[in-house]
Structures are given as structure tokens and as C-alpha cells.
Structure 1
């Protein structure tokens, strides 16, 4: 998929006069830098290597399930909903017999990478087995053919793989959905806690703050918030190591970068290597000759599914679970320092939306909401 060079091992790039050299200190086993608008792959390293994806697989889960439930829908969690959550999983803190909105659950998925939230949404969707089958069908529709899901949350499982190329395709599809864009760009939010009795004997349910674990979005003691970053998803497991797919905008250019399993041990290394590749991509974009492309979904090309594969047909639609009318969440300030009037990120038709009418549109903008304000 995407061109013969992307199937070759090692680094693929076409340097020319005026194009900066790739950063030397990128140790990831696999990575890709792509223009989200045109779909051009600017450079890649082992782009189609099939590796454990960790929680970046939640992007496929979200792109598959998000359109099915409005954000205002409510669900009371049964004990069976949380069955099968892997030991040591990242959790947002969902409690049995408590009621949550779908909006709450998606915040738990995107901000805290909560496997408990993923399993509750899977239960709402008919169960884990059905959800995983739909995820694999949707991956086929997106032509993410290196991807095979076994668990909906990315928890290590035998045979569960994806690639830097596929995760970039999946992120590009998800970013077409307004609610997906809002959730993945949210920095902090309030999450419902457990119902208890206070000192007065009154039944109360307080909330607690959750923060996005994407360190390019929030910053950390050893890494700054990346200017223009607007999501999408990070992951880390024993088998996968650290994985990350990010989208960022600078001077009207929107790039997608995926980094899988840096070999260098170090705190926040996956984010540091992603930031270096973003920096290179913004300098090289428009100057470097592409080495491949991000392909559109099968339904946009008229291609038939592979034998035995389904097609979810959800590559384009916008989910119904948007954050409109919900409790405000905190976000980073504006790139221009205007403290609230910042520039909304435009993810353009190179994001190629497959709309209800079936048209695959090129050069159509998909702006992130004001939650994506950034400071220099």
C-alpha cells in the first residue's frame, strides 16, 4: 500500500538541494512523516513493519465505534462490562453500577487511555468479540492491511499488529470526525467519580480531573508542549514499547507523524523523536519529493474487499457523540498568545472525507474546534 518504496526496509527519503537531512537521533524501529492534506509520504523508515501497536490501536476502535452512539447517551455499568480488562491496564476509574454518558467514556478513552472505558463501550456495542470483528472490517475498508486487532484496547495479545503506515491511515480517517478531533485535542476534563454519602448523609457524586497522557499536548518536565499539536494517540506496553501518532499544524501545513518503539531508553523518548520528525517535516514539506502516499479507503476507489473481508463503510461519516453542550474542558492557549482567540487547526482534504453521499473530497478542510488552541 502507498507505493513500492514504502515496502522496502530501512529509511526511504528523496533529499534534494535545500532539503534538510533527517535527524540522526531517531531510534524508532518504524516511523513515517506524511502530509495530512495531500497524503504524500515525505519520509519513512520500515513503514510497513508489523509491530504491536499498544494503545494507538484505540484510534481504530474510536474510528469504528464513535459514530454509533450520541455523546448524551447514558449507560449503567454492569460488572460484566469490565470483564476481560487486562491486568495492569491503564484505567480512567470507572465503577460498577455507576452511570456514565458516552461523552464521559470517550474522554476516558482519549485522555487516560482507559481500557475500562473501552470495554464498557464495547459492551454497549454488542461485546468485545463483535467490536473486534468490526474493527478488522474497518481496517480492511481503510486499506490498513498490516493491521489485525485481537483486543479493542491495544492490550498485548498474540497476533495483534499494526504498522506506522496503517496507524497514520487510521488517524487520518478518525480526524475527519468532529468528535474524534475534539476528544483527541482535549487537554483536561472532569470525570464522574463514585456515588457516596457525605458527612451530612446526603448522596453525592463528585467529579475528578483527568489529564491527557499525550506529552506533546500537555508538556512534561523534560519536554515542552509542541506548537500546533492537536492529538492524536499514544501507547505503551511491554511488547510494543512506546508508540505514538500525532497531528500538528504550522503555517497552514498539517502533518501526521507515527513513531513505533524507539530503541533508545529514555523518559518521553517517543515524544522527543516525534517532535524531531515534525520539525524536519515542516522544514522539508514542499521541497522533498514524496516516497509514497496515504491511500484512500476501498469504497472511494471502487475496490472490492479482499476475500473474507468486510467493509464497514464508516471511513467518512461524522460521529454523533460530539462534545457540544457538555461541561467545558481546559485546553492549551493560542499559538499567537491571544489567550482564547487562537487559530483552529485545519485538517484538510487531504484528509479526504468519504461523506454520506459517497464522494471522496480532496482539499476540503476539517478544522479542529477551539479546544486546539496553542501557544508558541
Structure 2
């Protein structure tokens, strides 16, 4: 075999081309360690935190973020740009659109399509009239899918509402979010559960908490909702309100494809933090335990420490 120094030029060029192709593919190969993530790897765990800060408690959720609700500073994250299904956390986006476009006392008569949805449901009844405020209570307090569909009805129908939700997400800078339906359920194609990221969820929730009506509803431990025979009390399904002192609101979600999802906020002293978690199977810790660990770590961090902004 000839010495490499005397290989034909065409063979040398072929080898160079193969090397260039391999190098070009390297970023994609490396990215498989953190699907969807665009930031620095942060080591094998994918965790990013300020240099010299205390170790972050180990939590099961593969993607999460902790940020300052007021300044938007990101305190720490794990694969914050990795895309996962949002489940019912997407209802925060629906609520934002409804609050933008509907007056709270505007009303609608419910039709069959509004209640033709998998439940969790708040108990919307066909033929009954509801106000937008009542439906927002049902949407955010008990995560009613029937309330989500009925609000979508008020916004022009489910397809129109989803288009408005996605446009709202883009306008906020949550460009990796795509709502599959008003409720977060995969509708039409069960293989298409939509997508969001921990960062996007924090951005959306931060915008929602700037609306005083949203902030009031999401922080309610209970609300009154029309039922058979009059008003009935509905209890907030977010366990953080019961279990974590200082919780000021949040939204839970679950589907078999999305696993458990959560976004919420808490206050301590003069600070307010937001936490978002995706694709948590809760096999080792419940979502509220993980959120509590991340929030406790965030509140203990020096207020000027951060790794970036939302």
C-alpha cells in the first residue's frame, strides 16, 4: 500500500470531505444528551446555576426553571429549552387570551360541543348560561376542560382559540410553545400533545400574574361555581396552596403523554419566585415537594445571583 504522503489527491480530498461531514454532525450528536436544550450543557445533569451557589436539591423532573417573578432573572434551570407536552398548564395561556379579549361579565349559553371533552371537569351544563369570570374560576381552580372549551366557544371556537393562544405565546417570546387544544388535551391526533418548555411556561405565567384578575383567581383556595340548585364551592386542585407557605398561585397538569407538569409562584419577604417543571413522573417525589425544594433554594440564593433572564 502506498505511503499516505503519496496517496492520490482525489483520495486525500475524499478523506477530508468525510472528516468535515463528521464534524458537522457532531453538534447534533452531542445535543442528544439534552433533547431540545439550547443552552450550555452544565455537566451531565444539565443543571445551570450561578458559580459558587449552594448545591441544588435533586428533583425528578427532567426539565425545570426557577426565576424571579418580578425581574425575570433566571436563578437556575435544567434543560429549560427542552420541549415537552404542557398538559393543563397550557390553560394559563387560554386564560391570558380570554382576559385580553372578553369582559368578565360577558356570557355564553353552553352547547354540546363545549362539554364533549375528557374530564377533569368543573360541571358546565348544556343550555346553561355562564359568565367569563365563572368559567375562568372553573378553568384555573379545578382545571375544568369543559370550562376551557366553553371559553374557546366565546373566543370564536376551538381552532380560533388555539390560534390566538399560539399567537399570544409568540408575542410573549414563548416561541417554543404550541397549544394542542384549549384544554391541553391532544385533540384530533392523539400523537400530537403540543409542546412547551420550562422557560416558556415561566414566561407565560409571569405575564399572567401581571393581570390582577388572573392573580386573584389562581391564588384562591376555593371559589363558588353555579351548580344544580345554586352556587357550590369548588376547591383549588393545586396542592402547593395547602402545602407551601407563601404560594400565590399555580397551575397543575397531567396526561399520560405529558406526565405531571406544573408552573407556580411563591413569595417570601420582598421576593417572588416562579418555578416551572415538565415531564415529571412523580415516582420519587410529588410535584409539590420538588417545587418546594427548588423554591427554598431560590429564596436562599443571593438576590443578585442569576444565570440569565427569561
Asked whether the 8 Å contact 2:179–2:195 carries over to 1, the reply is yes
TM-score, normalised with respect to structure 1:
0.68
Distance 1:249 1:65 in 2: 26
**Secondary structure, aligned partner of 2:70:** coil
Per the alignment, residue 11 of structure 1 pairs with 47
Per the alignment, residue 11 of structure 2 pairs with none
TM-align CA RMSD: 1.6
1:104, CA displacement in angstroms?
1.1
Q: How does 1:82-97 map to 2 (within 5 A)?
A: 82-83=115-116, 85=117, 87=118, 89-97=119-127
Unaligned runs of 5+ in 1: 195-204, 220-224, 295-376
Per the alignment, residue 68 of structure 2 pairs with 35
1:103, CA displacement in angstroms?
1.4
Asked whether the 8 Å contact 2:193–2:257 carries over to 1, the reply is no
Distance 2:113 2:182 in 1: 16
Asked whether the 8 Å contact 1:32–1:164 carries over to 2, the reply is yes
What are the Cα deviations for residues 80-102 of structure 1, in whole angstroms up to 9, with x where unaligned? 3334x2x3x21001111111122
Per the alignment, residue 207 of structure 1 pairs with 231
Q: Of the candidates 231, 239, 262, which is equivalent to residue 244 of structure 1?
A: 262
1:287, CA displacement in angstroms?
5.5
Per the alignment, residue 292 of structure 2 pairs with 275
**Secondary structure, aligned partner of 1:14:** coil
Distance 1:101 1:264 in 2: 36
Question: Cα gap change, 1:285/1:58 in structure 2, threshold over 3 Å: closer, same or farther?
Answer: farther
Per the alignment, residue 182 of structure 1 pairs with 216
Distance 2:127 2:193 in 1: 34
Question: Cα gap change, 1:137/1:280 in structure 2, threshold over 3 Å: closer, same or farther?
Answer: same
**Secondary structure, aligned partner of 2:263:** strand
Distance 2:295 2:166 in 1: 29
Per the alignment, residue 9 of structure 2 pairs with none
Question: Cα gap change, 1:31/1:214 in structure 2, threshold over 3 Å: closer, same or farther?
Answer: same
TM-score, normalised with respect to structure 2:
0.82
Distance 2:109 2:202 in 1: 34
1:73, CA displacement in angstroms?
2.1
Q: Of the candidates 155, 158, 161, which is equivalent to residue 185 of structure 2?
A: 155
Distance 1:177 1:287 in 2: 26
Does residue 62 of the first structure (1) align with residue 79 of the second (2)? Answer: no
Per the alignment, residue 136 of structure 2 pairs with 106
Does residue 22 of the first structure (1) align with residue 56 of the second (2)? Answer: yes
Asked whether the 8 Å contact 1:50–1:161 carries over to 2, the reply is yes
Asked whether the 8 Å contact 2:260–2:281 carries over to 1, the reply is no
Q: How does 1:159-178 map to 2 (within 5 A)?
A: 160-178=194-212
Asked whether the 8 Å contact 2:115–2:125 carries over to 1, the reply is no
What are the Cα deviations for residues 157-208 of structure 1, in whole angstroms up to 9, with x where unaligned? 50500000000000011111111111111111121113xxxxxxxxxx3222
Asked whether the 8 Å contact 2:260–2:280 carries over to 1, the reply is yes
Number of aligned residue pairs: 266
Does residue 125 of the first structure (1) align with residue 131 of the second (2)? Answer: no
1:20, CA displacement in angstroms?
2.3
Per the alignment, residue 317 of structure 1 pairs with none
Asked whether the 8 Å contact 1:42–1:285 carries over to 2, the reply is no
Distance 1:127 1:209 in 2: 28
Question: Cα gap change, 1:7/1:32 in structure 2, threshold over 3 Å: closer, same or farther?
Answer: same
